[in-house]
């Protein structure tokens, strides 16, 4: 079986949901009796449709998840993760303004998982560029997270691991 990452990390805005939590919606959020999540103005707030299935699939594969977001709306982002019942899929959350590199350095410190064993899904090219320099397999999201993107990402990760393994085997140096 293909090698799986030891940690799958997700951006939030335009990766799990189709908006910026700090500008496009108006916290605080609440869940209506019909289960719909709404903002303070009563506007419906939704995830991309396949996000719950993506996170369930990773959980069934034994791959823990984490969130890494640069939003300044920390409380609102955490509230949405709870209201959408996604908290259970994330073993760690790094949600605060700043560099995604900082988010990943903290994730690595907290988990002990090497960057090369992480996969990261994000919609912003600058984050993909920055985090890939750490050795993380990065997947650029175009239209929200979905099952096809997950499958392609896991395939990209497995191929990267095969390449990493063969280059280590070819190395004349002993570890």
pLDDT in tens, 25-80: 999 999 999 999 999 999 999 999 999 999 999 999 999 999 999 999 999 999 99
**pLDDT over threshold 80, residue 17:** yes
The whole-number pLDDT of residue 163 equals: 73
- State mean pLDDT over 3-30: 96
Residues 6+ apart with CB under 8 A from 33: none
Residue 97 is given by DSSP the state S
Whether residue 13 lies in the annotated active site:
yes
The whole-number pLDDT of residue 168 equals: 43
Q: Kindly report the CA angle at 69 between 66 and 73, in degrees rounded to 5?
A: 125
CB 10 within 8 A of CB 66: yes
Percentage of the chain beyond pLDDT 90 is 90
pTM of this structure: 0.91
Whether residue 39 lies in the annotated active site:
no
Catalytic position from the list 13, 39, 122, 123 = 13
CB 170 within 8 A of CB 15: no
Catalytic position from the list 11, 39, 123, 130 = 11
**What integer best gives the mean pLDDT of the chain?**
92
Distance CA 25, CA 38 (A): 9
| Domain 7-167, second-level architecture | 3-Layer(aba) Sandwich (3.40)
Domain parsing of the chain, residue ranges: 7-167
């Amino acid at each position: 079986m293909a090698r799986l990452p030891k940690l799958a990390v997700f951006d939030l805005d335009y990766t799990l949901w189709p908006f910026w939590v700090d500008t496009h919606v108006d916290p605080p959020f609440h869940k209506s009796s019909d289960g719909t999540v709404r903002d303070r103005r009563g506007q419906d707030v939704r995830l991309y449709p396949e996000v719950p299935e993506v996170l369930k699939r990773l959980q069934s594969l034994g791959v823990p998840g984490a969130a890494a977001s640069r939003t300044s709306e920390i409380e609102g982002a955490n509230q949405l993760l709870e209201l959408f019942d996604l908290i259970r899929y994330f073993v760690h959350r790094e949600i605060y303004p700043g560099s995604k590199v900082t988010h990943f350095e903290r994730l690595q410190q907290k988990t002990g998982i090497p960057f090369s064993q992480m996969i990261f899904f994000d919609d912003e090219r600058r984050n993909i560029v920055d985090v890939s320099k750490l050795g993380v397999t990065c997947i650029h999201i175009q239209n929200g997270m979905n099952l096809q993107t997950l499958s392609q990402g896991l395939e990209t990760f497995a191929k990267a691991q095969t390449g990493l393994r063969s280059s280590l085997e070819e190395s004349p140096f002993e570890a």
